[in-house]
Amino acid sequence: MTDGELESYGADVFSERAIRRHLPKAVATKLIATMRDSRPLDPTIADAVAEGMKNWAIENGATHFTHWFQPMTGGTAEKHDAFLEPVGPAKAVQRFSGRNLIGGEADASSFPSGGLRSTFEARGYTAWDPTSPAFIKRHENGATLCIPTAFCSFTGDTLDMKTPLLRSIQAVSRATERLMGKFGKPAAHVEITLGAEQEYFLVDRRFYLKRPDLLQAGRTVFGAAPAKHQQLDDHYFGSIRPRVLKFMTEVEQRLWRLGIPAKTRHNEVAPAQFELAPMFESLNLAVDHNMMIMEVLRQTAEKNDLVCLLHEKPFEGVNGSGKHCNWSIAYGGRNLLTPGDDPRENAIFLTVLLSVIRAIDKHADVLRMTTAGAGNDHRLGANEAPPAIISIFLGDELNAVLDAIEQGRRGTGRSGKKCKLRIGVDTLPALPKDTTDRNRTSPFAFTGNKFEFRAPGSSQNCARSQTALNTIVAESMDAICDKLEAMKGDFNENLQKLLQRLVKAHRRVVFSGDGYSSDWPKEAAGRGLPNLRDTPAALEPLRDPANVALFSKYGVLSETEMASRWEIGMEDYRRRIRIEAGISLEIARSMVRPVVADEFSRLAAALGRAKADGLRTGIKGLKALCLKLGACLDDLHVKCDTLEGALARGGHEEQIAAENDLRKTVDRLEGLVDDARWPLPKYREMLFVY
């Protein structure tokens, strides 16, 4: 990185450096305290902050401002307003007030609301989130000041992803403070951190524009597997092609200006698949940054005549794309998921670890619910994506520690002597930072000082999974505190008894084996672990009264907000399934069938001429090919009619089955029809020509 690039890092962010430069000292101090420690914002400084932010934005070429928010579409939204305001005939000023900064009004009727808002009830409100700094989005014709905000309806119901996330951060922070108090720790700042690894595909824009399925559904509904795809493992971590490296460099330069710490880039397993990983950040900021990363990936690809595909499974038979969410929790600057040398600190580590294990075991359905989606249904359970069964991978060392706690047996201490592990008194055996080899079939894995949740899909907003994870961990910590408060006697002995009970009660969710094994679903069922295989099943926990009570108790989502999430999820699922089925039918009838019919007609005519001319050679081959094409053409006709009927009846299961059946015929035809005449770019082109 050059000195100029170092200097440009964060240049498009209203950072502490910009705040101190453009705001009065007292105002800057208050705003920075709010940003760092989540202190309540002093409303009296709003006008001064707005003035300084406007001046900074205009200096950087901005002509408009927008409240940037995350509606329940899964993406982001913005409405641009100009700084310019007329103050008389042919006279104008640039104005931006505290009122403009703190709140705004947006049309809420056209965003998904799950019944929270009627079409005629259009008013929605955006509210500034000062803990996530404002930033500038640049485009060819200028720049826009973006102010991260929450989004709610006129009635106060949340219509976005950010508000529940912020509520969940408060919930787990309070629970962590309470738990640390049991260990005699003074009040301190709680920070939840996230590192979100983003996977994606790149295809040449020429191919993309010739694939109506990619254009409308984000994935290929047809496409025969090429002879070579990912089976040689030669793409993973391979040398990055110059065109892709140019794209990646431009992405990083844009992200660095936005203060996004993009650290790692590499080829992923599937051909044409790649990954970008930023460094860990505070959770709310990391979620905002991941949404910005996805947008920068798409926009930069377009400038390079590429298309960035964020669908979870754009190509059948090769790896899908996930968003690996690495979650950790710190108290007073110390990561609570890091084992150490001090017995007291290790007692805290084990308690927090078992809080998470308990949370996942009791609320696996809640965590699975956050990964639901039509795209992720194609991905989960194969090609390095975890199965739909939520389990935890801990590694050999931690499993041995849990064994010692659960069985109360003697283990081997650091001195090599046999001893019984005493919580809060003994030091744990030395645990390396990365405790064991990774298990890529595990949805939720401990990786040294954090948990990696691998089930979320590449296009999904991280806020969904992180909101749920924070909430269930808060409930688990509070339950542990309740038990400790009810116990009398020595704290360490009580803690040891409690942790032993927790291990025995919730060990079933810990699984170190192969998640792809055909035996695992049977074993998981025997353990009582839920297996929510598709989106409709995965969304049902939103309607479970116990889950509704849980989210309501912690003020994260109300009963009506939970119900709205189910409505939105199901409606999105049905629409996407219908779009996929519709585009499958259209491609099969209007693009594939005419080519096949013409090919069949041409071959049949050639066969007739050959027979008329008395030829004896080649007849057998022509006839065999004609018969294959004719049979497939008949099959195509029947299966198109079947899919059309399924679309008319509207059942999503019937549509999926009919679409999959049609795909078998079309993919077979791809290998029979003249390559030069096949109407769709093939996998061997899209996956290798970029």
Amino acid sitting at position 324: H
The two beta strands, 444-446 and 392-393, are parallel
Helix (H, G, I), strand (E, B) or coil at 245: helix
pLDDT, tens digit (0-9, with 9 covering 90-100), for 544-555? 999 999 999 999
DSSP strands (E only) in 421-489:
444-446, 451-453
Whole-structure pTM value: 0.94
Cα–Cα distance for residue pair 137/423, rounded to 1 Å:
52
Domains of the chain: 3-160 (3.10.20.70), 169-557 (3.30.590.10), 575-686 (1.20.120.1560)
In the numeric block, which tokens belong to residue 337? 């998921």
pLDDT tens sequence across 351-374: 999 999 999 999 999 999 999 999
User: What percent of the chain shows pLDDT beyond 70?
Assistant: 94
Burial group, residue 149, by CB count within 10 angstroms (0-12, 13-18, 19+)? buried
Q: What is the pLDDT of residues 590-629, one digit of tens each?
A: 999 999 999 999 999 988 888 888 888 888 999 999 999 9
Averaged pLDDT for residues 32-43 = 82
User: What number is the average pLDDT over the span 485-489?
Assistant: 94
Q: Which pair of tokens denotes residue 648?
A: 């008319």
Q: Mean of the pLDDT values across residues 265-276?
A: 96
Determine phi and psi for 630, rounding to 5 degrees: -65, -45
- State the angle between helix axes of 396-407 and 491-506 in degrees (0 to 180), rounded to the nearest 10: 110
Tens of pLDDT along 126-172? 999 999 999 999 988 899 999 999 998 877 789 999 999 999 999 99
CA 391 remoteness from chain centre: 18
pLDDT for res 125: 84
Residue 81 predicted with pLDDT over 50: yes
| Angle CA 639–641–647, to nearest 5 | 105
Q: Span 438-445, mean pLDDT?
A: 83
pLDDT at position 437 over 60: no
Q: pLDDT (tens digit, 9 = 90+) per residue, 230-255?
A: 988 888 999 999 999 999 999 999 99
Using 50, 70 and 90 to split pLDDT, how confident is the model at 413? very low
| pLDDT at 458 (0 to 100) | 97
Distance (Å) of CA 325 to CA 131, 198, 318, 447: 21, 9, 22, 12
The label of the residue with tokens 């170190």 reads 512
Give exposure, 507-546, as e/b (b: 16+ Cβ within 10 Å).
Answer: bbbbbbeebeeeebbeebeeeebbbbbbbbbbbbbbeeee
Q: Is the pLDDT of residue 120 over 60?
A: no
Contacts of 615-624 with C-beta under 8 Å, sequence gap 24+, read none
Q: Where does the pLDDT of residue 415 fall: very low under 50, low under 70, confident under 90, or very high at 90 and above? A: very low
**Burial 648-662, CB ≥16 within 10 A → b, else e:** eeeebebbbebbeeb
Tell me what the pLDDT averaged over the chain comes to.
92
Let me know if 216 is exposed, middle or buried by CB neighbors in 10 A (0-12, 13-18, 19+).
Answer: middle
Q: Ranked by mean pLDDT, which of 39-53, 410-424, 613-627, 649-663 comes out on top?
A: 649-663
Does 378 score more than 80 pLDDT?
A: yes
Beta strands in 132-248 (DSSP E): 135-139, 142-153, 190-204
Q: Is 579 exposed, middle or buried (0-12, 13-18, 19+ CB in 10 A)?
A: middle
Structure token pair of residue 408? 């109360």
Asked if the model's pLDDT at residue 687 lies above 60, the reply is yes
Residue 410: is its pLDDT beyond 70?
A: no
Lowest-confidence pick of 93-97, 135-139, 306-310, 495-499: 93-97
- CA distances for 597 relative to 542, 638, 679, angstroms: 49, 14, 13
2 versus 345: the higher-pLDDT residue is: 345
Q: Percent of the chain at pLDDT above 90?
A: 77
Average pLDDT estimate for 303-317: 97
Q: How many CB atoms lie within 10 A of CB 1?
A: 10
Residue 533 in tokens: 């295989």
CA 577/CA 217 separation, integer angstroms? 9
Q: What is the pLDDT of residue 306?
A: 98
DSSP 283-297: HHHHHHHHHHHHHHH
